Amino acid sequence: MIQTDIGHFSFNSPIVRNFIFRHHFVSIMKKKQEAKYLDKEWKELDSRLKAFLQSGDQEELHQFRVQTKKLRALLNLLEHASRQHGLLKEFKPVRKIFKYAGHIRDAYTNLQLSSRYAVKNETFKAGQQRIIEEGTLEFREKAKKHIKKIDDAYKQLKKQLPHVDNSAIAEFYKKQLEQIADSLETPRFTEDMHTNRKLIKILMYNRKLADKALNGSFKFNTGYLDQLQNSLGEWHDNIVAAELFSSPEVDDKHAATLIKKKNNNIKRKIRSLASDFMNKATAAEPAAK
């Protein structure tokens, strides 16, 4: 038998064998943790989709889309941290259902905004209601196809789920925060600002899974990041709403003006929050009162 030395130890050394065993054991446990997290979030995704297919309830559709974002965030982390490509590709069928459902959700949101800003264009509102009803009917007619695609994606992802070291997860978080910090150094209210929110959401969605990996590496100020991403989300939603109400389809300049004024205040809040981003994002959270 050929023995290969590691420093002063051979592979037959009890010290080396013990090290290899412990490393392998930790890898197995870590992969089990990731699989358990995937199972939990996927079960919620499946439950929300089936609830919407049965009831047509808009909140169930919204929660299905939230779960899709959570799972995509998880796969984004695992793929980048493990450098194993293909996870996001296997998730594409679910993303297509997400986008399909988005047309229904957008119409519902437009109606909510129309009510909030007292939009009087009845033709527009009737059109949005029709999109919801017809879209929901069509979506539910394809229920079996949607469920099969989601089940197939889950099976493929379970087979390919990689082990990711804690150090790789911590490095992923560090790089993401640095990228956001660079972007916010001179805040520009362009699509890049919306991208910053998406990056923050990826980190926040994965916070529970990453908790042990970040412990001791750096602090992660969830409260601050949640406040910033909420403000960024509100700013972006208002831009979309203002564009909608300014469009020839709706043509409600009064509502559009109100939203733009509101957004000026939100932009000032974002500038204040974004200042010194990295120090705020990695500061200890205030103790609960």
CB 209 within 8 A of CB 33: yes
Within its chain, how far is the Cα of 186 from the centroid?
Answer: 24
CB 163 within 8 A of CB 175: no
pLDDT over threshold 80, residue 289: no
In the prediction, which pLDDT does 113 show? 92
Lookup result for tokens 């009087």: 120
Average pLDDT over residues 181-194: 92
In terms of Cβ atoms closer than 10 Å to its own Cβ (0-12, 13-18, 19+), residue 286 is: exposed
Name the residue ranges covered by the structural domains of the chain: 29-163, 165-282
Buried b (16+ CB within 10 A) or exposed e, 81-90: bbeeeebeeb
> What pTM does this model have?
0.85
Average pLDDT over residues 221-244: 95
CB-CB neighbours of 270 under 10 Å = 21
